[in-house]
Amino acid sequence: MDTHHKDSTTNSVVTDTLRWLDNVVIEQQFCPFAKPVRDKGQIRIVVQQQNDMASLLGQLVTECEHLLEQKNVETSLLVYTELLADFNDYLDFLDMANEVIEAAGFEGILQLASFHPDYVFADAPTECPSNYTNRSPYPMIHIIQEQSISDALESFNQAEAIPERNIAHAKTLGTEFFLAFLPKQASKKQ
């Protein structure tokens, strides 16, 4: 596990993120490809504390470059603590981030997955447990190497059924299960 952090507040963010990753994403198998990468210590978590969009976008490019240079790191989680608390602001940032990925020449090599404490799928009611498949303790972007996805999908039977399985499983678990892994400020909104 490679974590890039400086202080006790950041350590708390990393701890919350790992708790969510282990207990929700991996244990509940929302991403069946996460466990091997976690077990090998190939996940890098970087806590972003910049307070302007330009710096966040610049750090995204830097992290993409780092990910491609480091053979011992398979994937990166950029966790945002200062900006992007508002879900609509986060979605705007995600659009910009995808444009930056394309402009920097990473399209087809890297892709972004999105997670936010207030994540809502376009076709789901706000209170639907299925939204919790993409709700995380903090706003974050997951940078994924596309070749890794392709390799994982080749060895996984019925990968196309994962989203439907995740939605059904989230509904079975219910909202209360997920709230235990989100910061108190996120759960107060519910």
Tell me the pLDDT tens digit for each residue of 85-135: 999 999 999 999 999 999 999 999 999 999 999 999 988 899 899 999 999
Query: Which pLDDT value is given to residue 84?
Result: 95
pTM, two decimals, is: 0.88
Q: 162 versus 79: which is more confidently predicted?
A: 79
H or E element in which residue 151 lies:
helix 146-154
Paired tokens of 159: 């990968």
* Number of neighbours of residue 43 by Cβ within 10 angstroms: 21
At 67, the amino acid letter reads: L
The rounded distance, in Å, linking the Cα atoms of 187 and 171 is 17
At 30, the amino acid letter reads: F
* Number of neighbours of residue 123 by Cβ within 10 angstroms: 7
Task: Give the sheet arrangement for strand 75-80, strand by strand.
Answer: 2-4, 43-48, 75-80, 140-145, 110-115
Residue 187 has pLDDT above 60, yes or no: no
Paired tokens of 76: 């990166």
Residue 22 has pLDDT above 50, yes or no: yes
Query: Which pLDDT value is given to residue 6?
Result: 56
pLDDT band at 21; cut points 50, 70, 90: very high
